[in-house]
A and B are shown apart, each in its own frame.
Chain A
Amino acid sequence: MSLRDGPLGDIKVPLTWSAAAALVIAVIIAVALLLTRSHDPVKAGAYDAARHAVDAVESPVGSALSAPVRWTGDGVDYVRGYFFAVSENRQLRAELAKAHATQDQLGAMQVENARLRAVLGIATNPPLPHIAAETISDSHGPFANTRLANAGAGQGVTEGNPVISEHGLVGRIVGVSKRVSRVLLLTDAESRTPVLLVRTNGRAILSGDGGESPKLDYLRTSIGVKEGDRVLTSGDGGVFPRGLPVGTVVRGLDGGWHVALDSDAAPIDYVQILLFTDFSQLAQAQALAPKELPTAMTEEPNPSIAPPTTSAPVPAKPVPAKVVAAKAGAPKSDASKPDAVKAPKAKLASASAVKPASAKPAVAKPHAAKVAASSDDAKPATAKAAKSASDAKAASPGHKPKPKPSTTQYSDVPL
C-alpha cells in the first residue's frame, strides 16, 4: 500500500516545505557530526571504522589510477633524459665535486661527534626502523591536506609515525588500516610540528594552514630569524625525532615567517614511514649502551675529559711498553719515552694512515700483551700499548686492514 492510499494521502504539503524540513534534518546531522568527533588527529579512536573502510577501498583504486600517471611520468623523464643529458652531466659533475668536499668534512665531523658524545656520555639514539611506501592519493585543499600510503598495520605502521621523503619531513600517520595508512601533511590546517632553527637554535611551532608554506608560530629566539634559515624538527614533545629536515624560512605574503618545505622539492610519490612512536622506544638502556669508544683523533687529549675506559691512571711500567714499541717497529727514541706520551702519537699515526672505521681491532695478540698478562699492575698500560701496537701495525706499509662493521652508536635518520 502506497502512502497516497493511506489516511494521510490527501494532505498536501508544499514541496518547498518538505525540502526545507529535509534540509534542516541534514544540517542537524552534519552539525552533530562536527560537534561529537574527537578533534585530536593522532588520538586513537579519532579515525573511525568508516575511514578505514573508505581507505581500504580507495587503496586499490588509487593505485590503479596513479599507475598510468606514473608510467607516463617515467616515460617523459626517460625521453627528457636524452635531450638534457649533456647539461645534466655537467651539473652533476659540479655537484659531485662539492659532494666530495662535503663528504670529507662530514667524515671528520662524524668521528669527532661520536668521540665527543662518548666523552660527554650523551645517550644517543639507536637506528630507527622504517618502511617504504607509495602514496596513492592526495588531497590538498584549504581544509584538509592528507595523503594515502600503501603500507598499514600489517607492515607495523601505527598512528603517530613520522613520514619523510627523500628530501625531508612530509607529515605523520593519523590513521591506519591493515594495508593502507593516511598521512597528515605538514601543510594541513590541523598540523602542529615542533621545530628548531639551526642557526639560532630557536624553537617554534610549525602550523599548517592549508597553504604550501606552513607558518612559524610561537617563535622563541633571541637572535632573530632570517630568510634562508634551516628548519629541523626539534623533537620537543616526543612526536617527532629530533633533526629531521623540514625546510627553509621564507617571508610570507602576510608578512609572517613561513617555511618552504624541503619535501616540496619533488613529487611525494614514495615515502619512508619511520616506525617511531615516541621517545620511550628510544630509551632502551641496552640499545643506548656504548659498546666501543671511537678512535681518538686528537694529538694531545685532555686527560680531564678522557672517558673512564681509557683515562685510568697509567702506571709507569716501561718494560712492557718498550717491548711493545720494539715489536711495533717504533723508533727507539720514542720507545724510551714514557708511555703516556708515546701512545697518543702512535694513535695519531694510525689515525692519519687508516680510517678509524676500517682500522683493525686489537685482536692481533702481540707479544707484549702476553708479557703484560703476567703482571696485574701492568694491565692497563699494556692494554693501551697493545692498542698502539695494533694501530701501528695497521699503519705499517703493506698491511691491509680488514674491513670492520661500523659500531657507531649514534644514528642519523636514514633519508
Chain B
Amino acid sequence: MTATSGFGAGKSMSPIGWLGVPIFLSALATILLATPIRIFGFSIPQPVFPLALAFAWALIRPSVLPPFVLLVMGLFLDVFWGGEPGLWPLCFLTAYAAVLAVRRLILGQDFIVMWASYAAATALAFAVGYGVMAMIAGAFPSLIALGWQYLATLILFPFAHRLVGRFEDADVRFR
C-alpha cells in the first residue's frame, strides 16, 4: 500500500484515528456478539477483537499509548465477560510485546506470512491466558473451547491487516 492509497495515509496520525476508533469498534463488536442467541443450536462465536488491535498497533508504530489502551480494554473485557481482572490485559500485552519485539521482521512481509505471525502472537496470548487460568482455577480449561475461540480470533486477521495498511505508511520514520 502506498502512502497515498490508504485511508489516513499521508496524514498526521491522531490517536483518535488509529487508537480511538478501532477500540470503540472493537468494544461495540464485543457487546454485539455477547447477545445470548443461538444459530442452529450453536452459540455465536466470541472472538477476541482487541488481539487484532494489539497485533496491528505494534506494527504501525511503537508508542506509549497502546499498552495502556490495551490494559483498559482488557479490563473492560474482564468485567464484561465476568472473568478474572487482569487476565485479558496480560494476554493482550503479551501479544503486543511479542510483535513489538519482532516488528521489523514482520513489516512488509506477504499477507500469508503476516497472518502466520498474527496466529503465533495470538497463540502466545491464549497460552498465557490458559496458564494463568489453570493456576487460578486449579484445573486446566477445555482445549476445545480454547481452540474455538482461537479460530474465531484468527479470522479477524483481515481487519488487523487493513488497519496496518491504513496507518503504517503514515509516518515513514517508523518503517
Measured CB to CB, the residues of A under 8 A from B are 15-16, 18-23, 25-27, 29-35, 37, 39, 50-51, 54, 58, 61-62, 65-66, 69, 73, 135-147, 174-175, 182, 184, 188-190, 207, 209-212, 215, 217, 253, 267-269
Contact = CB atoms under 8 A, between A and B. Distances in A.
Nearest to B32: A65
Given A51-B79, A144-B82, A190 B136 contact: yes
A190 B100 contact: no
A18 B62 CA distance: 8
Give the most central of B32, B65, B83: most A CB within 10 Å. B83
B100 A19 contact: yes
Given A18-B64, A142-B130, 11 more contacts: A19-B100, A29-B86, A33-B89, A51-B82, A61-B31, A135-B36, A141-B81, A141-B83, A141-B145, A142-B145, A189-B137
B90 A27 contact: yes
A66 B82 contact: no
- The 4 residue pairs across chains A and B that have the minimum distance between CB atoms: A211-B142, A146-B82, A33-B86, A144-B83
A141 B126 CA distance: 11
A253 B141 CA distance: 14
Contacts of B31: 58, 61-62, 65, 137
Interface string B85-112: 1110110010011001000000000000
Contacts of B174: 15
B86 A142 contact: no
A29 B43 contact: no
B132 A16 contact: no
A147 B36 contact: yes
Contact of B37 (A39, A69, A146, A182): A69
Contact of A30 (B46, B66, B86): B86
A269 B146 CA distance: 24
B167 to A, nearest CB: 15
Given A54-B76, A141-B149, A142-B130, A34 B43 contact: no
Report the interface size class on chain B: 35 or more
A34 B132 contact: yes
A136 B84 CA distance: 21
A15 B57 CA distance: 13
A141 B36 CA distance: 13
A229 B85 CA distance: 37
Give the most central of B80, B82, B145, B149: most A CB within 10 Å. B82
A26 B79 contact: no
A66 B35 contact: yes
Contact of B96 (A23, A138, A188): A23
Contacts of B36: 66, 135-138, 147, 267-269
Main secondary structure of the interface of B (DSSP, over half): helix
A209 B83 contact: no
B81 A34 contact: no
B63 interface: yes
B81 A189 contact: no
A22 B48 CA distance: 22
Interface string B113-143: 0000000000000000110110011011110
18 contacts: A18-B63, A22-B66, A23-B97, A26-B93, A29-B86, A30-B93, A33-B85, A34-B85, A37-B84, A39-B136, A58-B31, A141-B83, A142-B142, A184-B82, A189-B133, A209-B141, A210-B141, A211-B141
A14 to B, nearest CB: 8
Contact of B141 (A16, A30, A143, A268): A143
Interface string B139-175: 1111011100100000000000000000000000010
Give the most central of A135, A209, A215, A253: most B CB within 10 Å. A209
A313 B86 CA distance: 71
Contacts of B37: 66, 69, 73, 267
A110 B10 CA distance: 79
A62 B31 CA distance: 8
B141 A23 contact: no
A142 B34 contact: no
Contacts of B87: 34, 143
A139 B130 contact: no
Give the most central of B86, B133, B136: most A CB within 10 Å. B86
Nearest to A55: B79
A313 B26 CA distance: 79
Contact of B35 (A54, A65, A188, A207): A65
A198 B24 CA distance: 50
Nearest to B48: A141
Interface string B58-86: 00011111111011001110111111111
A19 B142 contact: no
Given A31-B90, A143-B83, A62 B34 contact: yes
B133 A143 contact: yes
A175 B78 CA distance: 14
A21 to B, nearest CB: 8
B128 to A, nearest CB: 10
A26 B133 CA distance: 19
Contacts of B70: 26
A73 B36 CA distance: 12
